[in-house]
Amino acid sequence: MPHPGPRNLLTDIPGLLVGHAIDERVDTGVTVIRTDRPWTASVDIRGGGPGGRESAALEPENMVGQLHALVFSGGSVFGLGAADAVTAALSVQGVGLHLKAGAPAIPIVPAAVLHDLSNDGDKDWGLEPPYRRLGFEALNNCAEDFDLGAAGAGRGAMAG
């Protein structure tokens, strides 16, 4: 039977890195999970109002079947911008599917968002939601060591 790693963290798996970014004023955040090579994943979507992107790429009948990073974000639909940032940054680094010479690499970056828009944070961001910036920050913060608890995507999460 498998046993937890030495720290009982995701990053006990070799090559797996986690990064968080938070915006204290908005009371929200983003978490990015990535590795040094594509990995296989699947998805099971539940709940009354799920929000996400590229989940269909993880369904077993589709040909992609691998991802390059995984993004979790607060901000409901606005939080999907974090995955756009991670996708762009990884593509510039050459991470992703290479379908044609000279074309950009196409990273597979599924994302899931949670609704934290009802907490007491300042959501008056106009045309500039903070999630794209937070996505870049979380990707740049990816490391073996990361904060636990109300960090990253869980920063402004509430129950009830």
Instruction: Give per-residue pLDDT as tens, 39-89.
Output: 888 888 888 888 999 988 888 788 777 899 999 999 999 999 999 999 999
Q: Which of 52, 79, 57 is nearest to 68 (CA)?
A: 57
Long-range (24+ apart) CB contacts under 8 A made by 145-148 are 145/11, 146/9, 146/11, 146/18, 146/19, 146/20, 147/20
Eight-class DSSP state of 145: -
Kind and range of the H or E run holding 139: helix 131-140
DSSP β-ladder status, 66-73 and 111-113: parallel
Instruction: Give per-residue pLDDT as tens, 115-160.
Output: 999 999 999 999 999 999 999 999 999 999 999 999 999 999 987 6
Chain-centroid distance of CA 134 in Å reads 10
What is the pLDDT confidence band of residue 110, given thresholds at 50, 70 and 90? Answer: very high
Structural domains of the chain, with CATH: 14-42+49-119+130-143 (3.60.70.12)
Eight-class DSSP state of 91: H
Global pTM value: 0.94
CA–CA gap between residue 43 and residue 102 (Å, rounded) = 32
Q: Which of 101, 72, 100 is nearest to 10 (CA)?
A: 72
157 contact partners, CB below 8 Å, separation of at least 6: 74, 114, 116, 150
Please tell me whether residue 36 adopts helix, strand or coil conformation.
Answer: strand
The answer to whether 41 and 70 have CB atoms below 8 angstroms apart is yes
Query: Scanning the structure block, which residue is given the tokens 């869980």?
Result: 154
pLDDT at residue 96 greater than cutoff 90: yes
